[in-house]
Structure 1
Amino acid sequence: MIGPSAGPLRILHLEDSDLDAELIEAELETLGHPFAIERVMTRDAFAAAAMPGRHDLILADYVLPTFDGVSALGIARAQCPDTPFIFCSGTLGEEVAVEALKNGATDYVTKQRLDRMPRTIVRALAEARARHEKAAAQTALNALNETLELRIEQRTRELAEANADLKREIGERERAEDALRLSQRLEAVGQLTSGVAHDFNNLLTVIAGNIEFLERAVSDDRSKRRLAMIKGAAQRGANLTAQLLAFSRRQRLEPTPVGLNQTVASMRDLLQSSIGGAVRIETALQTDLWPALVDATQIELVILNLAINARDAMAVGGTLAIETANVMVTGPQTRPEHPQPGEYVMVSVSDTGTGMKPEVLSRVFEPFFTTKEVGKGSGLGLAQVFGFVKQSGGGIRIDTVLGEGTSIKVYLPRVRDDGAVTPVASPPVDCAISHPPGSKPVVLVVDDDGDVREVTTTRLAEAGYVVREAASGLQALASLDADPCVDLVVLDFAMPGMNGAEAAIEIHKRWPATPVLFVTGYADTTALMRAGAVGADGFVQKPFRDGELERKVAAALSVRSSAGLRLVSDRTRT
Structure 2
Amino acid sequence: MPAGAAPIQLSGERRFQLLVDSIHDYAIYMLDPQGYVVSWNPGAQRLKGYSPDEIIGEHFSHFFPAEDRRDGLPQRMLAKAFKEGRYQTEGWRVRKDGSRFRASVVVDTIRDENGAHLGFAKITRDITERFEAEAALRLSEERFRLLVQGVIDYSIYLLDTDGRVTNWNAGAERMKGYTADEIVGQHFSRFYPEEDRAAGAPAHSLDTARREGRYETEGWRVRKDGTRFYASVVIDAIRNESGDLIGFAKITRDITEQRRTREALEEARIALFQSQKMEALGQLTGGIAHDFNNLLTVIVNSLDLLRRRAKDARDLRLVDNAHRAAERGARLTQQLLAFARRQALTPASHDVNTLIRGFEPILRRACGEAVALRVDLVHRPTPVEIDAPQFEAALLNLVVNARDAMPDGGRLTVASGLLEVDAERAEGWGVKPGHFVAVHVTDSGTGIAPEIVERVLEPFFTTKEMGRGTGLGLSQVYGFVRQSNGQMEIASTVGQGTTVSLYLPLGEGVVNADDAPEHGAAFGGYGTVLVVEDEPEVLEIAVELFHALGYSVLTATDGAAALDVLKRPDSIDVLFTDVVMPAGINGLDLAREACRLRPRLQVILASGYPIPATSPQLAGLANAAFITKPYRWSELAERLKSLRAGGNALE
Q: Given the two structures, how large is their TM-score scaled by the length of structure 2?
A: 0.47
Displacement of 1:411 in angstroms is 2.0
Q: Does 1:415 align with 2:507?
A: yes
CA distance in 1, matches of 2:75, 2:376: 90
Q: Does 1:193 align with 2:288?
A: yes
Q: Does 1:264 align with 2:356?
A: yes
Q: Does 1:304 align with 2:396?
A: yes
Residues 359 and 424 of structure 1, relative CA distance in 2, 3 Å threshold? same
Q: Deviations over 1:370-400 (max 9, x none)?
A: 1211111101101111222222232222233
CA distance in 2, matches of 1:224, 1:139: 108
Displacement of 1:191 in angstroms is 2.8
Does the CA contact (< 8 Å) of 1:320 and 1:352 recur in 2? yes
Q: Pick one of 48, 52, 59 that aligns with 2:78.
A: 59
CA distance in 2, matches of 1:245, 1:271: 24
Q: Superposed, which structure 2 residues align to 1:541-556 within 5 Å?
A: none
Q: Pick one of 328, 352, 365 that aligns with 1:273.
A: 365
Residues 395 and 166 of structure 1, relative CA distance in 2, 3 Å threshold? closer
Residues 360 and 62 of structure 1, relative CA distance in 2, 3 Å threshold? closer
Query: Which structure's relative contact order is higher, taking Cα pairs within 8 Å and 6+ residues apart?
Result: 1
Does the CA contact (< 8 Å) of 1:322 and 1:347 recur in 2? yes
Q: Deviations over 1:422-441 (max 9, x none)?
A: 584577999xx99xxxxxxx
Match in the other structure for 2:386: 294
Q: Superposed, which structure 2 residues align to 1:378-527 within 5 Å?
A: 378-416=470-508, 418=509, 420-422=510-512, 424=514
Letter aligned with residue 110 of structure 2: S
CA distance in 1, matches of 2:357, 2:493: 28
Match in the other structure for 1:33: 63
Q: Deviations over 1:78-133 (max 9, x none)?
A: xxxx995633231699xxxxxxxxxxxxxxxx96575x53xx1x32xx34x66654
Question: Is 266-275 or 300-309 further displaced after alignment?
Answer: 266-275
Match in the other structure for 1:206: 301
Q: Does 1:218 align with 2:322?
A: no
CA distance in 1, matches of 2:78, 2:457: 97
Residues 251 and 172 of structure 1, relative CA distance in 2, 3 Å threshold? closer
Match in the other structure for 2:139: 140
CA distance in 2, matches of 1:319, 1:167: 38
Displacement of 1:213 in angstroms is 1.6
Match in the other structure for 1:245: 337
CA distance in 2, matches of 1:161, 1:55: 63
Query: Which blocks of at least 5 consecutive residues in structure 2 are unaligned?
Result: 1-30, 39-55, 90-102, 155-250, 523-651
CA distance in 1, matches of 2:257, 2:355: 51
CA distance in 2, matches of 1:166, 1:395: 24
Question: Is 309-318 or 368-377 further displaced after alignment?
Answer: 309-318
Residues 254 and 57 of structure 1, relative CA distance in 2, 3 Å threshold? same
Q: Deviations over 1:217-269 (max 9, x none)?
A: 323x4333323322222222222222223223333333222222122223334
CA distance in 2, matches of 1:56, 1:379: 105
Match in the other structure for 2:107: 86
Letter aligned with residue 200 of structure 1: L
Displacement of 1:288 in angstroms is 1.4
CA distance in 1, matches of 2:298, 2:259: 57
Match in the other structure for 1:546: none
CA distance in 1, matches of 2:455, 2:113: 99
CA distance in 2, matches of 1:335, 1:275: 36
SS for the counterpart of 1:314 is: coil
CA distance in 2, matches of 1:281, 1:407: 14
CA distance in 1, matches of 2:423, 2:75: 76
Question: Is 195-204 or 172-181 further displaced after alignment?
Answer: 172-181
Does the CA contact (< 8 Å) of 1:194 and 1:248 recur in 2? no
CA distance in 1, matches of 2:314, 2:440: 50
Match in the other structure for 1:178: 273
Match in the other structure for 1:440: none
Question: Is 221-230 or 295-304 further displaced after alignment?
Answer: 221-230
Does the CA contact (< 8 Å) of 1:194 and 1:250 recur in 2? no
CA distance in 1, matches of 2:331, 2:428: 26
Match in the other structure for 1:229: 321
CA distance in 1, matches of 2:401, 2:427: 22
CA distance in 1, matches of 2:297, 2:65: 121
Match in the other structure for 2:376: 284
Displacement of 1:147 in angstroms is 4.7
Does the CA contact (< 8 Å) of 2:444 and 2:497 recur in 1? yes
Match in the other structure for 1:14: none
Q: Deviations over 1:507-532 (max 9, x none)?
A: xxxxxxxxxxxxxxxxxxxxxxxxxx
Does the CA contact (< 8 Å) of 1:331 and 1:341 recur in 2? yes
SS for the counterpart of 1:374 is: coil
Letter aligned with residue 438 of structure 2: M
Residues 245 and 168 of structure 1, relative CA distance in 2, 3 Å threshold? closer
CA distance in 2, matches of 1:411, 1:56: 96
Does the CA contact (< 8 Å) of 1:57 and 1:83 recur in 2? no
Q: Pick one of 423, 434, 459 that aligns with 1:342.
A: 434
SS for the counterpart of 2:438 is: strand
Does the CA contact (< 8 Å) of 1:289 and 1:345 recur in 2? no
**Larger fraction in helix:** 1
CA distance in 2, matches of 1:422, 1:176: 36
Does the CA contact (< 8 Å) of 2:414 and 2:441 recur in 1? yes
Residues 138 and 250 of structure 1, relative CA distance in 2, 3 Å threshold? closer
Q: Deviations over 1:339-368 (max 9, x none)?
A: 442333221212233443344233322221
Does the CA contact (< 8 Å) of 1:246 and 1:388 recur in 2? yes
Does the CA contact (< 8 Å) of 1:197 and 1:244 recur in 2? no
Residues 57 and 278 of structure 1, relative CA distance in 2, 3 Å threshold? farther
Q: Pick one of 243, 254, 275 that aligns with 2:346.
A: 254
Displacement of 1:298 in angstroms is 1.6
Does the CA contact (< 8 Å) of 2:350 and 2:388 recur in 1? yes
Does the CA contact (< 8 Å) of 2:339 and 2:478 recur in 1? yes
Query: Which blocks of at least 5 consecutive residues in structure 1 are unaligned?
Result: 1-17, 40-48, 75-81, 94-109, 435-574
Letter aligned with residue 59 of structure 1: L
Letter aligned with residue 58 of structure 1: M
Does the CA contact (< 8 Å) of 1:289 and 1:324 recur in 2? no
Residues 112 and 187 of structure 1, relative CA distance in 2, 3 Å threshold? same
Aligned length: 365
Does the CA contact (< 8 Å) of 1:58 and 1:83 recur in 2? no
Residues 293 and 222 of structure 1, relative CA distance in 2, 3 Å threshold? same
